[in-house]
Structure 1
Amino acid sequence: MRLPEALEDLPVDPETTRVFGDPHQTPDGSTVIPVSKVRRRADGRVSARPLGVFVIHGGKSTWVPAVDTTRIALLGEFIGLVAATLATAAMVRRPPWPDVRAVVSRRI
Protein backbone atom coordinates (compact mmCIF):
# COMPACT_ATOMS: atom_id res chain seq x y z
CA MET A 1 0.00 0.00 0.00
CA ARG A 2 1.36 3.41 -0.98
CA LEU A 3 1.23 6.50 1.19
CA PRO A 4 -1.65 8.27 -0.64
CA GLU A 5 -3.86 5.20 -0.25
CA ALA A 6 -2.89 4.90 3.41
CA LEU A 7 -3.79 8.55 4.02
CA GLU A 8 -7.17 8.11 2.33
CA ASP A 9 -7.98 5.14 4.58
CA LEU A 10 -7.37 7.10 7.78
CA PRO A 11 -10.50 8.04 9.70
CA VAL A 12 -10.58 11.81 10.00
CA ASP A 13 -12.64 13.57 12.61
CA PRO A 14 -13.83 16.88 11.14
CA GLU A 15 -13.17 18.58 14.48
CA THR A 16 -9.53 17.47 14.58
CA THR A 17 -7.05 19.32 12.39
CA ARG A 18 -3.67 18.83 14.08
CA VAL A 19 -1.90 15.52 14.43
CA PHE A 20 1.01 14.96 16.78
CA GLY A 21 3.41 12.24 15.68
CA ASP A 22 5.34 9.73 17.73
CA PRO A 23 8.12 11.25 19.85
CA HIS A 24 11.67 10.51 18.71
CA GLN A 25 14.78 10.50 20.89
CA THR A 26 17.94 12.05 19.44
CA PRO A 27 21.47 11.04 20.46
CA ASP A 28 21.94 14.29 22.44
CA GLY A 29 18.93 13.50 24.64
CA SER A 30 16.39 15.74 22.94
CA THR A 31 12.86 14.58 22.25
CA VAL A 32 11.35 15.63 18.93
CA ILE A 33 7.56 15.55 18.40
CA PRO A 34 6.39 16.26 14.82
CA VAL A 35 3.15 18.21 14.28
CA SER A 36 1.07 18.07 11.08
CA LYS A 37 -2.16 19.62 9.87
CA VAL A 38 -4.62 17.19 8.33
CA ARG A 39 -7.60 18.18 6.24
CA ARG A 40 -10.14 16.44 4.09
CA ARG A 41 -10.62 17.93 0.66
CA ALA A 42 -13.94 18.39 -1.10
CA ASP A 43 -13.31 15.36 -3.31
CA GLY A 44 -12.90 13.14 -0.22
CA ARG A 45 -9.11 12.89 -0.28
CA VAL A 46 -7.05 13.52 2.83
CA SER A 47 -3.97 15.72 2.76
CA ALA A 48 -1.38 16.32 5.47
CA ARG A 49 1.00 19.28 5.72
CA PRO A 50 3.86 19.49 8.22
CA LEU A 51 3.63 22.45 10.59
CA GLY A 52 6.83 21.93 12.58
CA VAL A 53 8.23 20.08 15.57
CA PHE A 54 8.34 20.47 19.31
CA VAL A 55 11.87 19.96 20.63
CA ILE A 56 12.16 19.10 24.32
CA HIS A 57 15.69 19.36 25.70
CA GLY A 58 16.78 19.87 29.29
CA GLY A 59 13.24 20.37 30.55
CA LYS A 60 12.53 23.21 28.12
CA SER A 61 10.36 22.90 25.05
CA THR A 62 10.78 24.95 21.89
CA TRP A 63 8.69 25.17 18.74
CA VAL A 64 10.54 24.90 15.41
CA PRO A 65 8.24 25.73 12.48
CA ALA A 66 8.55 23.95 9.15
CA VAL A 67 9.20 26.76 6.67
CA ASP A 68 8.23 26.05 3.07
CA THR A 69 10.89 27.90 1.09
CA THR A 70 9.21 26.94 -2.18
CA ARG A 71 6.13 29.00 -1.29
CA ILE A 72 8.28 31.96 -0.29
CA ALA A 73 10.22 31.80 -3.58
CA LEU A 74 7.00 31.46 -5.57
CA LEU A 75 5.56 34.53 -3.85
CA GLY A 76 8.69 36.53 -4.72
CA GLU A 77 8.48 35.46 -8.36
CA PHE A 78 4.80 36.38 -8.50
CA ILE A 79 5.47 39.85 -7.06
CA GLY A 80 8.24 40.39 -9.62
CA LEU A 81 5.96 39.30 -12.46
CA VAL A 82 3.20 41.68 -11.35
CA ALA A 83 5.69 44.56 -11.02
CA ALA A 84 7.11 43.89 -14.50
CA THR A 85 3.60 43.72 -15.98
CA LEU A 86 2.57 47.01 -14.39
CA ALA A 87 5.79 48.72 -15.51
CA THR A 88 5.31 47.45 -19.07
CA ALA A 89 1.72 48.65 -19.14
CA ALA A 90 2.79 52.08 -17.88
CA MET A 91 5.53 52.36 -20.52
CA VAL A 92 3.23 51.32 -23.35
CA ARG A 93 0.67 53.86 -22.28
CA ARG A 94 3.18 56.70 -21.97
CA PRO A 95 6.87 56.01 -22.61
CA PRO A 96 9.40 57.70 -20.28
CA TRP A 97 11.54 59.08 -23.14
CA PRO A 98 10.80 62.49 -24.69
CA ASP A 99 8.64 62.95 -27.73
CA VAL A 100 11.08 63.40 -30.64
CA ARG A 101 8.64 63.44 -33.53
CA ALA A 102 9.47 66.09 -36.08
CA VAL A 103 7.09 67.72 -38.49
CA VAL A 104 8.52 68.32 -41.91
CA SER A 105 6.73 70.85 -44.07
CA ARG A 106 7.51 71.82 -47.60
CA ARG A 107 7.63 75.49 -48.28
CA ILE A 108 8.79 76.75 -51.56
Structure 2
Amino acid sequence: MTQTLSHETPVLETVRRVVENAGASRVFGEPVRQDGVTVIPVAKVSGGGGGGSGTGPAPEGQEAGGSGGGVGIAAKPVGVFIVRDGKVSWRPAVDINKIIMGGQIVLAVALLTVRAIVKARARMS
Protein backbone atom coordinates (compact mmCIF):
# COMPACT_ATOMS: atom_id res chain seq x y z
CA MET A 1 0.00 0.00 0.00
CA THR A 2 1.39 3.43 -0.94
CA GLN A 3 0.64 6.46 1.18
CA THR A 4 0.70 9.93 -0.35
CA LEU A 5 1.46 13.27 1.26
CA SER A 6 -1.83 14.78 0.14
CA HIS A 7 -3.53 14.37 3.53
CA GLU A 8 -0.38 15.56 5.37
CA THR A 9 -0.12 18.81 3.43
CA PRO A 10 -2.36 20.91 5.76
CA VAL A 11 -0.22 19.97 8.78
CA LEU A 12 3.03 20.67 6.96
CA GLU A 13 1.62 23.94 5.64
CA THR A 14 0.68 25.04 9.17
CA VAL A 15 4.14 24.20 10.51
CA ARG A 16 5.75 26.06 7.60
CA ARG A 17 3.68 29.20 8.31
CA VAL A 18 4.52 29.09 12.03
CA VAL A 19 8.24 28.81 11.31
CA GLU A 20 8.11 31.65 8.77
CA ASN A 21 6.33 33.94 11.24
CA ALA A 22 8.67 33.20 14.16
CA GLY A 23 11.30 35.84 14.68
CA ALA A 24 12.43 38.84 16.67
CA SER A 25 9.24 40.74 15.87
CA ARG A 26 7.36 38.19 17.97
CA VAL A 27 9.65 38.80 20.95
CA PHE A 28 10.21 42.55 20.76
CA GLY A 29 7.03 44.61 20.52
CA GLU A 30 6.59 47.88 18.69
CA PRO A 31 8.53 50.67 20.44
CA VAL A 32 6.43 53.31 22.19
CA ARG A 33 7.87 56.84 22.15
CA GLN A 34 6.72 59.69 24.35
CA ASP A 35 8.47 62.74 25.81
CA GLY A 36 11.92 61.61 24.67
CA VAL A 37 11.57 58.15 26.21
CA THR A 38 11.31 54.96 24.16
CA VAL A 39 9.85 51.81 25.71
CA ILE A 40 10.40 48.48 23.94
CA PRO A 41 8.30 45.60 25.29
CA VAL A 42 9.91 42.15 25.36
CA ALA A 43 8.14 38.80 25.53
CA LYS A 44 9.21 35.18 25.77
CA VAL A 45 7.67 33.28 22.90
CA SER A 46 7.61 29.49 22.90
CA GLY A 47 5.82 26.91 20.90
CA GLY A 48 5.62 23.33 19.91
CA GLY A 49 3.88 21.08 17.55
CA GLY A 50 3.43 17.57 16.49
CA GLY A 51 1.76 15.42 13.99
CA GLY A 52 1.37 11.94 12.82
CA SER A 53 -0.35 9.62 10.50
CA GLY A 54 -1.23 6.02 10.50
CA THR A 55 -3.23 3.26 9.01
CA GLY A 56 -5.23 0.54 10.52
CA PRO A 57 -7.54 -2.20 9.44
CA ALA A 58 -10.06 -1.06 6.87
CA PRO A 59 -13.14 -2.74 5.48
CA GLU A 60 -12.51 -4.70 2.33
CA GLY A 61 -12.32 -2.49 -0.71
CA GLN A 62 -11.38 0.63 1.23
CA GLU A 63 -7.97 2.08 1.97
CA ALA A 64 -7.12 2.76 5.60
CA GLY A 65 -5.43 5.98 6.63
CA GLY A 66 -5.45 8.90 8.98
CA SER A 67 -3.47 11.92 9.97
CA GLY A 68 -3.49 14.72 12.48
CA GLY A 69 -1.41 17.41 13.98
CA GLY A 70 -1.34 20.51 16.04
CA VAL A 71 0.71 23.56 16.79
CA GLY A 72 0.69 25.74 19.89
CA ILE A 73 2.35 29.05 20.62
CA ALA A 74 2.48 31.00 23.89
CA ALA A 75 3.85 34.45 24.63
CA LYS A 76 4.62 35.83 28.08
CA PRO A 77 5.79 39.37 28.87
CA VAL A 78 9.21 39.44 30.51
CA GLY A 79 9.88 43.18 30.73
CA VAL A 80 10.72 46.34 28.83
CA PHE A 81 13.83 48.13 27.63
CA ILE A 82 13.68 51.84 28.41
CA VAL A 83 15.77 54.18 26.28
CA ARG A 84 16.20 57.64 27.81
CA ASP A 85 18.90 60.21 27.02
CA GLY A 86 20.91 57.64 25.05
CA LYS A 87 20.99 55.18 27.95
CA VAL A 88 19.22 51.83 28.01
CA SER A 89 17.80 50.24 31.15
CA TRP A 90 15.90 47.01 31.73
CA ARG A 91 12.72 46.73 33.80
CA PRO A 92 11.58 43.14 34.35
CA ALA A 93 7.88 42.32 34.40
CA VAL A 94 6.69 41.20 37.82
CA ASP A 95 4.82 37.90 37.74
CA ILE A 96 2.56 38.16 40.78
CA ASN A 97 1.50 34.52 40.34
CA LYS A 98 5.08 33.33 40.91
CA ILE A 99 5.35 35.53 44.00
CA ILE A 100 2.11 34.13 45.43
CA MET A 101 3.14 30.55 44.63
CA GLY A 102 6.53 31.08 46.29
CA GLY A 103 4.84 32.48 49.40
CA GLN A 104 2.49 29.51 49.57
CA ILE A 105 5.39 27.06 49.33
CA VAL A 106 7.32 28.85 52.09
CA LEU A 107 4.20 28.89 54.29
CA ALA A 108 3.55 25.17 53.71
CA VAL A 109 7.14 24.25 54.60
CA ALA A 110 6.99 26.46 57.72
CA LEU A 111 3.73 24.85 58.86
CA LEU A 112 5.10 21.33 58.32
CA THR A 113 8.24 22.25 60.28
CA VAL A 114 6.22 23.66 63.19
CA ARG A 115 4.03 20.55 63.16
CA ALA A 116 7.09 18.27 63.31
CA ILE A 117 8.56 20.28 66.21
CA VAL A 118 5.27 20.19 68.16
CA LYS A 119 4.95 16.41 67.64
CA ALA A 120 8.56 15.83 68.73
CA ARG A 121 8.06 17.87 71.91
CA ALA A 122 4.79 16.06 72.66
CA ARG A 123 6.61 12.70 72.50
CA MET A 124 9.32 13.95 74.87
CA SER A 125 6.84 14.91 77.58
Superposition TM-score tier, normalisation by shorter sequence: 0.5 to 0.7
Residue in structure 1 matched with residue 44 of structure 2 by the alignment: 37
Percent sequence identity is 37
- Relative to total residues, which structure has the larger helix share, 1 or 2? 2
SS of the counterpart of 1:44?
strand
Shift, 1:89, TM fit: 2.9
CA-to-aligned-CA distance 1:37-72 (integer Å, 9 cap, x gap): 001146732111111111111111111111212211
Matches within 5 A, 1:64-75: 64-75=91-102
In structure 2, C-alpha distance between the alignment counterparts of 1:30 and 1:57, rounded to whole Å: 5
- Relative to total residues, which structure has the larger strand share, 1 or 2? 2
**Are residue 61 (structure 1) and residue 69 (structure 2) matched?**
no
Which of the residues 17, 23, 29 maps onto 1:21? 29
CA-to-aligned-CA distance 1:55-108 (integer Å, 9 cap, x gap): 11111111111121221122012111112013213322x225863xxxxxxxxx
**Are residue 95 (structure 1) and residue 103 (structure 2) matched?**
no
Q: What RMSD, in angstroms, separates the aligned Cα atoms of the two structures?
A: 2.8
Which 5+ residue runs of structure 2 have no aligned equivalent?
1-16, 50-69
Which of the residues 109, 112, 116 maps onto 1:82? 109
Compared CA separation, residues 41 and 89, structure 1 to 2 (3 A): farther
8 Å contact kept, 1:41–1:47: no
Point out which structure has higher relative CO (alpha carbons under 8 A, 6+ apart). 2
TM-score, length-scaled by structure 2:
0.57
Letter paired with 1:95: R
